Structure 1
Amino acid sequence: MPEDDEYPDHVGAGSDDHVRSPTERMDRQAGSGDGNGESSGEEPGQESASPSESKRESGGGSAGGERTVRISGGLAGPEEPTHSHRDPSRPGPSESDSERTQRIPAVPAEPTDAFSESDTERIHAVPADEGLYRNPAAESPTVFTADGRTMSMSQAGGAVPPPGPADGQQGAAGEGGRNRARLLRAGVAAGIAVVLLALLYLGDLAFSSGLVPRGTTVAGVDIGGLNKAAAERRLRAELGPSLDEPIRLRSGDAEASIDPAAVGLSLDWRATLDRAGSQPLNPITRVTSFFTTREIGPVSNVDRDKLTAALQEVKPELQRKPKEGTIKFEGTEPVAVEPTPGRKIDMQRALDVIVAEWTGSGAVRLPSTSQPVSTTSEGVHRALNEIAVPAVSAPVTVLGDGAKATLDPEAIADSLRFEPDGKGGLKAHIDVPTAVEAVKPQLAETIKQGKDASFVIEGGKPVVQPSVHGRTVNWEKSFAPLIKVLRQQDGRQVRAVYEDQPAKLTTEEAKQLGIKEQVSTFTTGGFSPDSGVNIKRVAEEVDGAIVKPGETFSLNGYTGVRQKPQGYIASGIIKDGRPAKAVGGGISQFATTLFNASYFAGMKDIEHREHSYYISRYPMGREATVFQQPDGTSLIDVKFKNVSDSGILIETAWTPQSVTVTFWGTKQFEVTSHTSPKSNFKPPEVVPIPPGEPCSPAGGQKGFTVYNTRTVKNLKTGEVTKQRERTDYEPQPIVKCGQPPTP
């Protein structure tokens, strides 16, 4: 606000009792009448009244009279200076077109703390050229005094009247109005859009009622927007021709196939369409269905047991066993074999996936789990460089007693083996038999093979063949340091470790066994040529066996594995109650012969089992069968214990028609046998074997029961014992080959 010294004509507040406009001030200066309508008595050219005089003039007759206010018809311009004489050329108060005079009755002012009744509030003038552009709030309001001078409202001590709206406020008010208009228009448009969308939604819902939801596919076939009848026709047309084709199964890079008809797989058309559901009510779902698809799995019928069996059959083609990394040799060149994780089919999940995806166009990918390996590629290559490469870089010398043998790189490559070390790498070891085969001939003159005492039959009597004390090489100990030596460039030699090899049965021990006469003998015949090969082979293995007093003899234990490498071939056996073939078949005839020889020698029966049905070439109730796994694990065996005081020598003799087993020792028991008549007969059943399956036809026979009684007399003590055994033979089925089962 301007200071007083800038406006020397200003006076204090409250000096006038009425408000003067700039026009009034100009009229007063020009000598017009005062507020009471009387002449002021001033002549033109005279000075205006002093403030005190003006106050006195304004005080008289103001209580109940009238006040005259001159109101400008337009906005006041800048304040003009006060002159002693009015310019004759300027119009007076009565001549101005922009002014008019109005008499306003005086209204007594109520007394306040700030003003007395005689105080006059003056309203500041707003110049015409500033009122539209200047912010009144930024300047102090100006009031006019009785003598025509101006002063600020703050100087006058009066209250500042509320300013009019500023330019910014006027603009904000206008902008607010425009915003309200825009919002109104937007609201109307939005309402119209909502109504239109609602109409479209209801129309789409009504139009698609009863149809398959839009965007629905089955096995890639689009059936959306169709009624169920049309959808089923489309599915049958698109999918039907391929449903009879084999189902391709894939796991990794392996493939196999199964026949859908064989496992009862078929598509349930009606249930599949029911799975599609009804029209969705969610508007978002309906909108997105225009540019998205929804695949529903087909509903299938299946015989799950048959599907499981079919998958089990092809599973070996789809799975992969884990393969550990190793090192192989191509000649003398070591080659790293990278480890390969295995892959195992998840059966339960695989069955579900097949049922869900078998209608698709591609192969069904079966879920599987990875089978880890313990070796790493890094570990394999480390073993290659640190062991395999130096191992074949030069030969190794084996030092014997007075002789040397050479293990050359080729023999080293043949003998060296690698296996996981459990830490990601490989550890090496020597296959001793392979290495021995390479060096033993070179050290043969330093080795003396030991030999147990044995018996030969000469002139109808057993004769002792003397034992031989041997000296041989312990190859395991000799080759123990070989792996370390193979990693060396120098000092590549090992020393053969020799050991004495005493006989297990010396000449003296053999003579003391009391093997001097025949104790028992038994012969069987009537076998087939194939069985004859196996019978001859097992007889050769058992011939010469010695059972010391108190020992138990086991046929399976003595021969060990009986497979093709041991000289056995496939021949007839009985499996699951009907004839079949297996390697080693026919040995039961030797087992029966051996059992009867032990039976009549008075040996104690430890284990034997009769055939499931009776074979006429064997004695009823006094025969035996044997069976073992391919690895030699015994399942059915013939075992007996030597309960005599002498040793027993087992002698065998084979001809193309028969086999004989004779026990030699010192006769101590006299044995007789009695077999009861057959009883408890059972008729046979007919077993048809479908065409294409392995089959051995059989005429069948009745089943029955017999009892066998063995009477044993101890010749030394005269004691007699009896053992009674019951044997139940099942009916031998009538096997008919190439016939379908009877319904």
Structure 2
Amino acid sequence: MPYDADKTRAMPPVNPGGTASEQTTKISPVNANASTDAWPSEEPDNEPTVTAAVPGVGFPAGEDATEFMQPVAPPQQQPEDSGVYGPVMIEPGEDEEQPRNGKKKALIVAAAVVGAFGLLYGLDILVSSGNVPRGVTVAGVDVGGMGHDEAEKKLRDEIGPRLSKPVALKAGDVTAELDPRTAGLELDWNATVDRAGSQPLSPITRVTSFFTSREVGVATKADDAKVGSALEAMRPKLDHEPTEGTIKFEGGNAVAVEPHNGQKLKAEEAVNVIVSNWASGNPVEVPMDFTPVKTTKEGVEQALNDIVKTAVSGPVKIKGEGKDANLTPEQIFNTLVFEPGDGGALNVKPNKDKLVEAALPQLKDTVREGKDAQIVFEGGKPTVKESVDGLDLDWDKNLQPYFDTLKKTDAREIKFEYKHTPAKVTTEQANKMGIKEVIGEFQTGGFAPASGVNIRVVAEKVNGAIVKPKETFSLNKYTGPRGTAQGYVEAGIIENGIPGKAVGGGISQFATTLYNAYYYAGMKDAGHKEHSYWITRYPKGREATVFMDGAGNSLIDIAFTNPDDTGVAIQTIWTPSSITIRLWGTKNYDVTGSTSGEFNPTQPQEKKINKEGCTPSNGAPGFSVTDTRTIKDRRTGQSRTESRTVRYDPQFKIICEPPPGG
């Protein structure tokens, strides 16, 4: 079997010009088995020509192989005593000699052809020795048959100018350019010419090289790490998240925004591809990982044409009770939301919040905010402030009819419906709650000015709150978030046993005052938490802290439950130096409290602080106390006691050190 010297692997016989059966020896027109009566004419003009195909040697399709073969004359009849076998009469039993003669002649012909072909083969090797093999291209430049020096010059002339230019990259739906110098890409000219290889020894390869070409590519000097770094620097431009198709309002019209798959650079594979193809002169397609989107271009176009264009084709009138609202096409568009649907579709829906935002400013005079009955304190006594039922647009009920109106090209107006919201605490209910006398009261003071601001804000919010029979009052739930938007400021807090600051600081003093007020009113404690260490202005074992995070989430709360059939109203009285809280209702309980002495003391530890604003302190020991509340029910004369043991941590001995850097 012949071998391709370029690829050093066995190559099968190739006969592009004929079938396998045609690669066997052909002798025409002699029939070795025929009798002498069937011998062909011996006239010179009719002498037959014998050709032979050489096993293992093929010729290109359409080529005539006779130029490699010599004509062979048919054997001439010889005298019987000449010693040469010819077409003589064969006696019975001698017909076995005829096939032998035919085979000998075929071998002679084949040997002649092989010899001629071998002569040509050797001549071709001799002539092309030291040259680049025929049909070889490098980066698209044909250098086949050239000497190495000539080939290198041609490559430098044709490829060299493109090597300093940016390499065009195609990364999914993004195009970019890579600076080969920044990426450390260079061409190795000698190795590039050497890659073409030496002359192939396979006769098949040498024959087919007249009709085919073979690309060997360039040899690159590259540092993969440097190429990778250059690609990583380009990643923000090459990578992007998937973008669903949608619709936007631009220039007074709704226009489609085509979807785009997300893509992310496959860095390791990209390095190999760029090193192999950067000098080709063609854009290099960079491998990417793709994240498909749900919508299609066709789905977006259908939503635009079927719904949105009609929706924004003109204004819409919303008729309210006594006043109307007119929405422009842009306002209408802003009330729509777009979501991916099944099969690449883009679903279009109305958005209630956006509709309220667009229409309510024009209809605000037609709505009325509901208010519960409140207890106001005038002349030192509680008075009921009447409740107000709310009147508001029924946005949930109006949403779908509004969307149906947008699908019309004419009669684009709609009558909105309203809903009435009764007060949770009506004037009648408040008058029947028996809120007539003080049932519990407590006062604290000694707060800092910033804390005083926060205490005043929360006191104004809570003043007049009504706790209905069997209802639970939660301070955090009632006030909601306590941030700068609500008027609170940064003030002192205790964080991990160390003084600190936060917006809303000081509210714990209000919580402690509220706890003691409902403690003496006989209310049921529904949850509270003491400070981690005792603050001297609060009674031991009878104080509370509260905390909400920046998002307004309740983390530590204080709450109490009204156990009676009568209502309770909360009155707050604030001054720059004190906060007083009174609970009004029907006094059903007499309450006393007592606190044990301190026990289980623990000594403080030192803590060094190097922050600005540090205040040194000698600290204080920790201890435990037990508080006992005695409640006597006026209606039954029965008494009960409740005890609670509280453990206070020792206060750190604070040592202030200079902040870093002086």
- TM-score by length of structure 1 reads 0.52
Counterpart of 1:709, as a letter, is T
C-alpha distance in structure 2 between counterparts of 1:177 and 1:331, whole Å: 87
Distance 1:171 1:439, change over 3 A: closer
Structure 1 partner of 2:621: 702
Structure 1 partner of 2:512: 592
Q: 1:430 aligns with which of 332, 336, 352?
A: 352
Structure 1 partner of 2:89: 140
Structure 1 partner of 2:210: none
C-alpha distance in structure 2 between counterparts of 1:370 and 1:557, whole Å: 47
Q: 2:633 aligns with which of 689, 699, 714?
A: 714
Structure 1 partner of 2:598: 678
Structure 1 partner of 2:327: 408
C-alpha distance in structure 2 between counterparts of 1:397 and 1:161, whole Å: 115
CA contact (8 A) 1:515 1:665 kept: yes
- 1:494, distance to aligned residue in structure 2 (A): 1.6
CA contact (8 A) 1:688 1:737 kept: yes
C-alpha distance in structure 2 between counterparts of 1:531 and 1:335, whole Å: 54
Q: Quick check: 1:574 aligned with 2:497?
A: no
CA contact (8 A) 1:331 1:410 kept: no
CA contact (8 A) 1:397 1:404 kept: no
Counterpart of 2:323, as a letter, is K
Distance 1:610 1:175, change over 3 A: same
- 1:370, distance to aligned residue in structure 2 (A): 7.2
For 1:59-104, what per-residue CA distance to the aligned partner results, in whole angstroms no more than 9, with x for missing partners? Answer: xxxxxxxxxxxxxxxxxxxxxxxxxxxxxxxxxxxxxxxxxxxxxx
SS in 2 for 1:452: coil
CA contact (8 A) 2:375 2:466 kept: no
The worse-fitting range, judged by mean Cα deviation, of 562-571 and 533-542 is: 562-571
SS in 2 for 1:607: coil
The worse-fitting range, judged by mean Cα deviation, of 417-426 and 331-340 is: 331-340
- TM-score by length of structure 2 reads 0.58
Q: Quick check: 1:481 aligned with 2:416?
A: no
Q: Following superposition of structure 1 onto structure 2, how do residues 286-685 of structure 1 map, counting pairs within 5 Å?
A: 326-327=246-247, 329=249, 334=254, 374-376=294-296, 378-401=298-321, 403-409=322-328, 412-413=331-332, 416-423=335-342, 424-426=345-347, 427-431=349-353, 432-441=355-364, 443-444=365-366, 447=367, 450-469=370-389, 471-685=391-605
Structure 1 partner of 2:104: 169
- 1:517, distance to aligned residue in structure 2 (A): 0.8
Structure 1 partner of 2:80: 126
Structure 2 partner of 1:86: none
Q: Following superposition of structure 1 onto structure 2, how do residues 49-198 of structure 1 map, counting pairs within 5 Å?
A: 126-128=80-82, 131-132=83-84, 135-136=85-86, 138-141=87-90, 153-154=91-92, 166=101, 169=104, 172=107
For 1:87-123, what per-residue CA distance to the aligned partner results, in whole angstroms no more than 9, with x for missing partners? Answer: xxxxxxxxxxxxxxxxxxxxxxxxxxxxxxxxxxxxx
Counterpart of 2:352, as a letter, is I
CA contact (8 A) 2:406 2:412 kept: yes
SS in 1 for 2:351: strand
C-alpha distance in structure 2 between counterparts of 1:322 and 1:572, whole Å: 47
SS in 2 for 1:435: helix
C-alpha distance in structure 1 between counterparts of 2:295 and 2:575, whole Å: 55
CA contact (8 A) 1:563 1:569 kept: yes
SS in 1 for 2:375: strand
The worse-fitting range, judged by mean Cα deviation, of 592-601 and 368-377 is: 368-377
Distance 1:342 1:650, change over 3 A: farther
C-alpha distance in structure 1 between counterparts of 2:541 and 2:112, whole Å: 121
For 1:214-257, what per-residue CA distance to the aligned partner results, in whole angstroms no more than 9, with x for missing partners? Answer: xxxxxxxxxxxxxxxxxxxxxxxxxxxxxxxxxxxxxx99xxxx
- 1:340, distance to aligned residue in structure 2 (A): 6.7
For 1:568-623, what per-residue CA distance to the aligned partner results, in whole angstroms no more than 9, with x for missing partners? Answer: 34444334443444443332222222212111111111111112222333322111
CA contact (8 A) 1:415 1:434 kept: no
Distance 1:492 1:525, change over 3 A: farther
C-alpha distance in structure 1 between counterparts of 2:584 and 2:564, whole Å: 12
Q: Quick check: 1:723 aligned with 2:642?
A: yes
- 1:140, distance to aligned residue in structure 2 (A): 2.1
- 1:530, distance to aligned residue in structure 2 (A): 3.5
- 1:167, distance to aligned residue in structure 2 (A): 8.4
SS in 1 for 2:509: helix
For 1:133-171, what per-residue CA distance to the aligned partner results, in whole angstroms no more than 9, with x for missing partners? Answer: xx34x4225xxxxxxxxxxx44xxx97997998486388
Between the two proteins, the alignment pairs up a number of residues equal to: 456
SS in 2 for 1:708: strand
Distance 1:630 1:161, change over 3 A: closer
CA contact (8 A) 1:525 1:658 kept: yes
C-alpha distance in structure 1 between counterparts of 2:96 and 2:350, whole Å: 110
- 1:683, distance to aligned residue in structure 2 (A): 3.1
For 1:203-223, what per-residue CA distance to the aligned partner results, in whole angstroms no more than 9, with x for missing partners? Answer: xxxxxxxxxxxxxxxxxxxxx
Counterpart of 2:362, as a letter, is V
C-alpha distance in structure 2 between counterparts of 1:663 and 1:395, whole Å: 55
- 1:513, distance to aligned residue in structure 2 (A): 0.5
SS in 2 for 1:481: helix
Structure 1 partner of 2:54: none
Distance 1:322 1:296, change over 3 A: closer
CA contact (8 A) 1:328 1:334 kept: yes
Counterpart of 2:351, as a letter, is H
Q: What fraction of aligned residue pairs are identical, expressed as a percent?
A: 43
C-alpha distance in structure 1 between counterparts of 2:495 and 2:261, whole Å: 38
Structure 1 partner of 2:3: none
C-alpha distance in structure 2 between counterparts of 1:339 and 1:503, whole Å: 49
CA contact (8 A) 1:690 1:739 kept: yes
Distance 1:320 1:607, change over 3 A: farther
Distance 1:667 1:371, change over 3 A: farther
Unaligned runs of 5+ in 2: 1-34, 38-77, 119-172, 175-218, 226-235, 269-286
CA contact (8 A) 1:695 1:737 kept: no
- 1:547, distance to aligned residue in structure 2 (A): 0.8
C-alpha distance in structure 1 between counterparts of 2:481 and 2:297, whole Å: 38
- 1:378, distance to aligned residue in structure 2 (A): 4.7
- 1:327, distance to aligned residue in structure 2 (A): 4.7
Counterpart of 1:509, as a letter, is Q
CA contact (8 A) 1:549 1:647 kept: yes
C-alpha distance in structure 2 between counterparts of 1:660 and 1:417, whole Å: 51
Counterpart of 1:726, as a letter, is T
CA contact (8 A) 2:534 2:648 kept: yes
Q: C-alpha root-mean-square deviation of aligned residues, in Å?
A: 4.7
Counterpart of 1:430, as a letter, is K
C-alpha distance in structure 2 between counterparts of 1:392 and 1:598, whole Å: 59
Larger Rg: 1
Counterpart of 1:169, as a letter, is K
CA contact (8 A) 2:350 2:399 kept: no
